[in-house]
Protein backbone atom coordinates (compact mmCIF):
# COMPACT_ATOMS: atom_id res chain seq x y z
CA UNK A 1 0.00 0.00 0.00
CA UNK A 2 1.33 3.34 -0.93
CA UNK A 3 -1.05 5.95 0.41
CA UNK A 4 1.16 8.88 0.99
CA UNK A 5 0.28 12.48 1.53
CA UNK A 6 3.03 14.52 -0.18
CA UNK A 7 4.06 16.25 3.04
CA UNK A 8 4.37 12.97 4.94
CA UNK A 9 6.45 11.51 2.10
CA UNK A 10 8.82 14.46 2.33
CA UNK A 11 9.17 13.92 6.06
CA UNK A 12 10.00 10.31 5.39
CA UNK A 13 12.67 11.21 2.83
CA UNK A 14 14.15 13.78 5.19
CA UNK A 15 14.25 11.10 7.87
CA UNK A 16 16.19 8.85 5.53
CA UNK A 17 18.73 11.56 5.02
CA UNK A 18 19.30 11.71 8.75
CA UNK A 19 20.54 8.18 8.62
CA UNK A 20 17.88 7.45 11.19
CA UNK A 21 16.52 4.77 8.89
CA UNK A 22 18.87 2.63 6.89
CA UNK A 23 22.58 3.10 6.34
CA UNK A 24 24.26 6.47 6.72
CA UNK A 25 25.70 7.76 3.48
CA UNK A 26 28.84 9.67 4.30
CA UNK A 27 31.11 11.24 1.76
CA UNK A 28 34.76 12.13 1.86
CA UNK A 29 36.10 15.26 0.19
CA UNK A 30 39.81 15.66 -0.42
CA UNK A 31 41.58 18.97 -0.97
CA UNK A 32 45.09 20.35 -0.71
CA UNK A 33 46.21 22.54 2.16
CA UNK A 34 45.98 26.26 1.42
CA UNK A 35 43.02 25.76 -0.93
CA UNK A 36 39.37 26.49 -0.28
CA UNK A 37 36.73 23.81 -0.15
CA UNK A 38 32.97 24.03 -0.61
CA UNK A 39 30.69 21.12 0.16
CA UNK A 40 27.05 21.12 -0.83
CA UNK A 41 24.58 19.38 1.48
CA UNK A 42 21.10 18.76 0.12
CA UNK A 43 17.84 18.62 2.03
CA UNK A 44 14.26 17.95 1.04
CA UNK A 45 12.85 20.49 3.44
CA UNK A 46 13.92 23.93 4.39
CA UNK A 47 14.64 25.03 7.90
CA UNK A 48 14.72 28.12 10.06
CA UNK A 49 18.29 27.84 11.17
CA UNK A 50 21.36 26.41 9.46
CA UNK A 51 24.47 25.04 11.04
CA UNK A 52 27.96 24.13 9.92
CA UNK A 53 29.65 22.12 12.63
CA UNK A 54 32.78 20.17 13.33
CA UNK A 55 31.93 16.55 14.15
CA UNK A 56 28.49 17.25 15.63
CA UNK A 57 26.40 20.27 16.47
CA UNK A 58 26.91 20.37 20.19
CA UNK A 59 27.39 23.96 21.34
CA UNK A 60 31.21 24.03 21.29
CA UNK A 61 31.40 22.39 17.85
CA UNK A 62 29.28 24.90 15.95
CA UNK A 63 31.45 26.72 13.42
CA UNK A 64 28.72 28.89 11.88
CA UNK A 65 25.07 29.18 12.77
CA UNK A 66 22.57 31.48 11.09
CA UNK A 67 18.93 32.18 10.34
CA UNK A 68 20.04 34.32 7.40
CA UNK A 69 20.81 33.24 3.83
CA UNK A 70 24.52 33.34 4.40
CA UNK A 71 26.96 33.83 7.20
CA UNK A 72 30.66 33.75 7.71
CA UNK A 73 32.84 33.33 10.75
CA UNK A 74 36.57 33.41 10.22
CA UNK A 75 37.49 30.81 7.61
CA UNK A 76 34.06 29.16 7.78
CA UNK A 77 30.97 30.11 5.85
CA UNK A 78 27.53 28.79 5.07
CA UNK A 79 25.14 29.70 2.30
CA UNK A 80 21.57 28.70 1.59
CA UNK A 81 20.74 27.84 -1.99
CA UNK A 82 17.28 26.93 -3.30
CA UNK A 83 17.65 25.48 -6.78
CA UNK A 84 14.07 25.69 -7.92
CA UNK A 85 13.65 21.94 -7.59
CA UNK A 86 12.42 20.21 -4.44
CA UNK A 87 15.94 20.27 -3.08
CA UNK A 88 17.53 22.84 -0.83
CA UNK A 89 21.28 23.18 -0.65
CA UNK A 90 23.51 24.33 2.11
CA UNK A 91 26.88 25.29 0.74
CA UNK A 92 29.47 25.17 3.47
CA UNK A 93 33.00 26.40 2.90
CA UNK A 94 36.37 26.52 4.57
CA UNK A 95 39.04 28.80 3.18
CA UNK A 96 42.80 28.34 3.38
CA UNK A 97 42.63 24.75 4.51
CA UNK A 98 45.05 23.52 7.13
CA UNK A 99 46.07 19.95 7.71
CA UNK A 100 44.38 20.18 11.09
CA UNK A 101 41.05 20.86 9.36
CA UNK A 102 40.93 17.19 8.41
CA UNK A 103 38.04 15.46 10.10
CA UNK A 104 34.30 15.02 10.22
CA UNK A 105 31.86 17.84 9.66
CA UNK A 106 28.13 18.21 9.78
CA UNK A 107 25.67 20.51 8.03
CA UNK A 108 22.30 20.75 9.66
CA UNK A 109 18.93 22.37 9.24
CA UNK A 110 16.70 22.96 12.17
CA UNK A 111 12.96 23.37 11.94
CA UNK A 112 10.98 21.47 14.51
CA UNK A 113 13.78 18.95 14.70
CA UNK A 114 17.28 18.78 13.33
CA UNK A 115 18.15 17.09 10.08
CA UNK A 116 21.77 16.71 9.22
CA UNK A 117 24.36 15.35 6.82
CA UNK A 118 27.83 14.27 7.88
CA UNK A 119 30.89 14.30 5.66
CA UNK A 120 34.62 14.00 5.99
CA UNK A 121 37.25 16.43 4.78
CA UNK A 122 40.77 15.21 4.19
CA UNK A 123 43.43 17.87 3.73
CA UNK A 124 46.57 16.72 1.95
CA UNK A 125 49.98 18.35 1.73
CA UNK A 126 50.12 20.50 -1.37
CA UNK A 127 53.00 18.56 -2.88
CA UNK A 128 54.12 14.97 -2.37
CA UNK A 129 57.62 16.25 -1.60
CA UNK A 130 56.25 18.05 1.48
CA UNK A 131 54.99 14.78 2.97
CA UNK A 132 57.09 13.85 6.00
CA UNK A 133 58.65 10.42 5.81
Ligand X SMILES: *[C@@H]1O[C@H](CO)[C@@H](O)[C@H](O)[C@H]1NC(C)=O
CB of 8 to ligand X, least distance (A): 27
Q: Is 124 in the site for ligand X (CB under 6 A)?
A: no
Please select the residue that binds ligand X; options are 19, 40, 66, 71, rule is CB under 6 A: 40
The residue among 103 and 126 lying less far from ligand X, judged by its C-beta, is 126
CB of 75 to ligand X, least distance (A): 9
SS (H, E, C) 2-25: CCCCHHHHHHHHHHHHCCCCCCCC
The residue among 31 and 118 lying less far from ligand X, judged by its C-beta, is 31
Please select the residue that binds ligand X; options are 19, 37, 56, 95, rule is CB under 6 A: 95
- What string of DSSP letters covers 36-91? -EEEEEEESS--SEEEEEESS-SGGGEEEEESSSEEEETTEEEEEEE-SSS-EEEE
CB of 133 to ligand X, least distance (A): 27
CB 51 within 8 A of CB 43: no
Q: What are the beta bridge partners of residue 121? A: 29, 103
Residues at the contact surface with ligand X, assessed by CB under 6 A: 35-36, 40, 81, 83, 89, 95
Amino acid sequence: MNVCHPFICLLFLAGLQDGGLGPVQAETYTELEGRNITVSCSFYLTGRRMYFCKKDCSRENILVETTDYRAQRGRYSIEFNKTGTALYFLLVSITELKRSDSGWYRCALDQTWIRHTDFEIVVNYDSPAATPT
